[in-house]
Structure 1
Amino acid sequence: MPTPLEELVEFLHHPQAPIRTVALENVVGLSQGPESSIFQYNNYEPIKDLKILARDKGKTIVQHSLTILANLCEDEKIRDLIVDDFEFVKYLIEKIILDLENRNSDIGCILLTNIAKNDKIIKIFEIRDLDLPNKEVFKSSNAIDCLLDIFVKGSEKSLNKLANYDYLSFFFADISRFLQGRKYFVTKQSYDDILPITKILVFTEYYESKIRREGVASTIKNSLFEIDSHLDLLDESQANILPYLLLPIASSKDAELDEDELFELPDELQLLSPDKTRDPVPEIIIVHLESLLLLCSSKETRNYLRTKSVYPLIRELHKNIDNDDLADVVERLVNMLMRDEAPEGSEDKIEEIDEKMEEPDYESDGDEEIVEVL
């Protein structure tokens, strides 16, 4: 015999729309906590119902359905049921991209982010030839290009007054766990001849949104596991990535740099405003430091960082922090920059990086938390 709550979720596929709506309103609050197990009823039948309801024309019905699905992604089985339905994933992405008046776009972005914990999300690269109504916003018909463009151009609700797309930063962090995702961010795209990673660099100092800064920082770090791309990414005429990693960890109070050290810094860091402060979130600073560690993977890139006064800047950071986890990464970075280099012609292998910074995966990339919708 089904319990009363299980009987309630059965109404999600009732033939009468008003009854489905009432049932949905009553179960949305049960999608968090121990009672969320009711959505496993009858071999996860409510998940099938919710995916159907998420396509409804009623905005509130869609909101409740997406909210429940997003919250249930802690359950790996439910997450798999969603991402395995490729047509639903494609529909979800198309609604985010094609409907710039969609008031549920941000919830859709959260759901997309949560299901990206499943490796099958990489199939997003197969979504091409979208029928785009807005050619001024989107220059490519590939889903991944459109998501990146809407993330960049739609910040501060500039495209959709009801959505800011911030949570797509976590989605990008997740897809950059995969080789295909990392290569995408560090490869010029044919439709605009731009490295996708350069489009998100500006958000390393986007203090209006911790979510956006955090996801972008992780995306950059994951992309830097593509070691062969480092010189191009550091090249000031191409990506010029270094200032975007250093600015969040720099402060105008780092006053003990001597004149030579100061003028060897990238131009963007030489004349900081008097009120310039570090990123207030130590975890984000740690991610940027780990990115710098990855850039120490070859002698050539280490020498480049030395010529740009990275060590003096890290030295000042070390003097002014009170966080053990942050201090640990700082010390590792200092050791890399201050080490004696092996003689020319010898093998250039950095064991310290190999031991502590494995390629990103679901367990190690730091972005594995499911986002819940309250």
Structure 2
Amino acid sequence: MDSIKELIQFLAPEGRMDIKSAACMTAAQLTGTPEGLSLLSSRPDALKAIIGLIRDPEIYTAKDAMRALVNISAEEPGAEALLELKDANITTEMIKCIKDQQYPHADFACGILANLSKCKKLCQKILNDISDGPTNLEGLVNILCQTDYNKKGAKLHLLAPVITNFSQLADGRRQIMDKDGFVFQRLITFMDYKESKGRRMSVIATIHNCCFEKEYHPWLMSEDVDIVPRLLLPLAGPDTFNEEENNSLPVDLQYLSDDKEREPDSEIRKLLLEALMQLCILREGRETLRKQNIYLILREHHKWEEDRKCIMLNEDIVNLLIRTEDEIGVEDLSAVHVPPDLANKFNAQDEEYLAGGSSNMNSITEEPEK
């Protein structure tokens, strides 16, 4: 009898609690090595046995089972093996765990679902499974937005990167921005969530991804969503503007307090700036941004910013906004064909700047035309 087959026998749900607990701990320890991961991933019977213990009455046995699944799902071969199981739907099982308000290991379930959906080709299968099930993407967002949802202490922060993974798919973005639902609007309330930087970053990354759907730009910038001030607020500081300047800004950006702090994480600031850049793709978006006078916030942010990538993104946005539409000459920037030699030249210039070379614009002083 091979050792894995023997281990599987000890993992039987009806087995003695002490033996079952020891076997589950052994399985979890095996996933701590590449060899152990590879071995368990190649054995569907072992994977099903581990899944069968995630609701074991012995709390440490269930926890070890979930720990093993976290490690197995973290590598693509293991994730594929879990999703290919015929008699156990790993996506359905994790959704049940997340949905169960009394399940103590729901954070592990969120982590497993986040791991499984990292790879784009696997993510589509998971989104399809969820869309066909009783708890769809909207249902997951509703759970995420209830900060006290789980009654056993699970925070469910890792459910946010699951939503971000879905937003890498066109179908996922469309579901998130369904105008008949309220998914996107619920997500943006967590853009300034202080309890978890990971949740905040994932929500902003989801919004960033959605901004690549240019046909949704009018809706995103409308009063129904009003995304522009929400993207700008984390970039704003305790800036002083005169009355005329303040009144030209969206209401949420006017007369900010003296203790207003800018987003401290440069990766989050980069996502915010990239989202704003996407909103500049269409002429309608650029004109809206000019009317909201976002130049003022970007100018002050540029003075404060030290990250070279963020500075470059800031300057790219301003360079578009200070030019007239006649100078730009196209309605849709994404339709402009850039010859390969010029694209390579621009990329080289960007790389030189990011490596410490000179900037094309050392300061922002020229205001856009009103």
Change in Cα spacing, 1:126 to 1:343, as seen in structure 2 (3 Å) is: same
TM-score, normalised by the number of residues in structure 1: 0.80
Q: Aligned AA for 2:97?
A: K
1:46-88 Cα shifts (integer Å, max 9, x gaps)? 4343223234343322221122221233421101112334722
Structure number, greater radius of gyration: 2
Indicate conservation of the 8 Å contact 2:193/2:199, yes or no: yes
Change in Cα spacing, 1:344 to 1:41, as seen in structure 2 (3 Å) is: closer
1:140-193 Cα shifts (integer Å, max 9, x gaps)? x4422221100012x1x355341221111101110011111000111124xxxx
Matched, 1:174 2:165: yes
Identical columns (%): 28
Change in Cα spacing, 1:295 to 1:346, as seen in structure 2 (3 Å) is: closer
Which of these residues, 197, 202, 205, is aligned with residue 215 of structure 1?
202
Matched, 1:150 2:136: no
Which of these residues, 274, 283, 287, is aligned with residue 303 of structure 1?
287
Change in Cα spacing, 1:323 to 1:345, as seen in structure 2 (3 Å) is: closer
Where does 1:202-351 land on structure 2 (aligned, <5 Å)? 202-236=189-223, 238-252=224-238, 254-255=239-240, 257-342=241-326, 347-350=331-334
Q: Aligned AA for 2:207?
A: I
- Larger relative contact order (C-alpha < 8 A, sep ≥ 6)? 1
Q: Aligned AA for 1:100?
A: Q
Change in Cα spacing, 1:353 to 1:55, as seen in structure 2 (3 Å) is: farther
> What is the CA-CA distance between 1:29 and the residue it aligns to?
4.3
> What is the CA-CA distance between 1:284 and the residue it aligns to?
0.5
Which of these residues, 160, 163, 168, is aligned with residue 154 of structure 2?
163
Alignment match, 1:11? 7
Task: Write the distance in 2 (CA, Å) between the matches of 1:322 and 1:113.
Answer: 32
Change in Cα spacing, 1:161 to 1:75, as seen in structure 2 (3 Å) is: closer
> What is the CA-CA distance between 1:286 and the residue it aligns to?
0.7
> What is the CA-CA distance between 1:195 and the residue it aligns to?
3.3
Task: Write the distance in 1 (CA, Å) between the matches of 2:328 and 2:227.
Answer: 27
Task: Write the distance in 2 (CA, Å) between the matches of 1:129 and 1:304.
Answer: 38
Where does 1:3-42 land on structure 2 (aligned, <5 Å)? 7=3, 10-14=6-10, 15=12, 16-17=15-16, 18-32=18-32, 35-41=33-39
Matched, 1:88 2:90: yes
Task: Write the distance in 1 (CA, Å) between the matches of 2:288 and 2:5.
Answer: 60
| Alignment RMSD | 2.8
TM-score, normalised by the number of residues in structure 2: 0.80
Change in Cα spacing, 1:126 to 1:22, as seen in structure 2 (3 Å) is: closer
Task: Write the distance in 2 (CA, Å) between the matches of 1:150 and 1:102.
Answer: 14
Indicate conservation of the 8 Å contact 2:143/2:149, yes or no: no
Change in Cα spacing, 1:51 to 1:353, as seen in structure 2 (3 Å) is: farther
> What is the CA-CA distance between 1:199 and the residue it aligns to?
0.6
> What is the CA-CA distance between 1:10 and the residue it aligns to?
4.9
Task: Write the distance in 2 (CA, Å) between the matches of 1:50 and 1:211.
Answer: 28
Q: Aligned AA for 1:90?
A: T
> What is the CA-CA distance between 1:197 and the residue it aligns to?
0.6
Task: Write the distance in 1 (CA, Å) between the matches of 2:263 and 2:51.
Answer: 39
The alignment partner of 1:342 has SS state of helix
Change in Cα spacing, 1:281 to 1:351, as seen in structure 2 (3 Å) is: farther
Alignment match, 1:184? 175
- Counting matched residue pairs gives 330
> What is the CA-CA distance between 1:231 and the residue it aligns to?
0.8
Task: Write the distance in 1 (CA, Å) between the matches of 2:236 and 2:230.
Answer: 10
The alignment partner of 2:154 has SS state of coil
Indicate conservation of the 8 Å contact 2:63/2:105, yes or no: yes
Indicate conservation of the 8 Å contact 1:102/1:162, yes or no: no
> What is the CA-CA distance between 1:318 and the residue it aligns to?
0.8
Task: Write the distance in 2 (CA, Å) between the matches of 1:204 and 1:232.
Answer: 19
Indicate conservation of the 8 Å contact 1:101/1:162, yes or no: no
Alignment match, 1:367? none
1:296-350 Cα shifts (integer Å, max 9, x gaps)? 1111111111111211111111101111122122122222222332379955334
Where does 1:37-48 land on structure 2 (aligned, <5 Å)? 37-41=35-39, 43-45=42-44, 46-48=46-48
